[in-house]
Structure 1
Amino acid sequence: MPVVEVVLPVPPAAAFAYLADPRNRPAWQSSLRAVAEVVVPDGDPTAVGVTWTDVTAVPGVRPRLRTVVSEPGRRWAEVGELAGFSATLDLAFGPEPRGTRVVATFTVAGWGVGALLGRLAVVAVRSDLRRAGELMRTAGHE
């Protein structure tokens, strides 16, 4: 199971609020062009049960995702599925003298190539989280 750790220059509550809201993802996730069909059942876009569709850079690839864990400022996780593939992303947040340590654990499974895709995703996830940190820093998230 691939793991990525990054330090973001904002407090855990701010990092959680930004990263767990799927509407922010196109700004920091390199593979996305947009999110669509966002359903927020209880008015909190970071809560368990929120669903959305990723509109990826690859035409026709539109996985459906849902939040399965939401512990504000501590942990957030999603599950996504598309045509025989499934993926999970789990983010753990912890205080760090310079901001927040985010530990991202993820899996990709399906059709025998899940392990390869997971290894390839390490670089993208690290880069995407760093981009999110820079966006939060420049926007003054506190």
Structure 2
Amino acid sequence: MPHSAEQAFAYLVDPRRRPEWQSSLLSVDVPEDEEPHLGQTWTELTVVGVRPSLEVVEFVPFRSWAERGTWRGVEATLRLRFIATKEGCRVVAEGEVTGAGVYAVAARSSGLLAGRAIAADLKTAGHRIAQRAEG
């Protein structure tokens, strides 16, 4: 991203901003005045009607952040690492989706699709950060 790690981190780890750049989200349920922090929890409403519960499980400002989400028999983790570069920063996303019982197939298929979706969403986030900086 052509933005500093500080800018990217501040924007990407704030669940209140997620519907602006994450294509699978319609809304998040988190207090408007709550700043991102370790242990923060919220729920989301996805475009397919799923309402996962999420929790921040890693929070190292401007370096790394991770969340764990659960919904019925599915658990997903997403970790973002922020690496400063001469041009801005590199955001490295790592994730895993697992499921138990009847949710195993859904988890496996969503995990296969997640990489491309996350890459597209991070590209959108980069554009949104630029718009905020200009505006």
TM-score (norm. length: structure 1): 0.86
Runs of 4+ in 1 over 2 A off after TM superposition: 43-46, 111-116
Q: Which residue of structure 2 aligns with residue 136 of structure 1?
A: 129
Q: Which residue of structure 2 aligns with residue 23 of structure 1?
A: 16
Give the one of 112, 117, 125 matched to 2:104.
112
Q: Which residue of structure 2 aligns with residue 4 of structure 1?
A: none
Query: Higher helix share goes to which structure?
Result: 2
Q: Give CA deviations for 1:21-78 in whole Å, capped at 9, x if unaligned.
A: 1000000000001101x269xx76221111110111112x100001000000000000
Q: How far apart are residue 112 of structure 1 and its match?
A: 2.5
Identity of aligned residues (%): 44
The question of whether the paired residues in 2 share the 8 Å contact of 1:62 and 1:82 is answered with: yes
Q: Is 2:51 the counterpart of 1:54?
A: no
List aligned pairs for 1:3-42, cutoff 5 A: 8-36=1-29, 38=30
**5+ residue gaps, structure 2:** none
Point out which structure has higher relative CO (alpha carbons under 8 A, 6+ apart). Answer: 1
TM-score (norm. length: structure 2): 0.90
The question of whether the paired residues in 1 share the 8 Å contact of 2:74 and 2:104 is answered with: no
| Aligned pairs, number | 130
Give RMSD over aligned pairs.
Answer: 1.6
**5+ residue gaps, structure 1:** 1-7
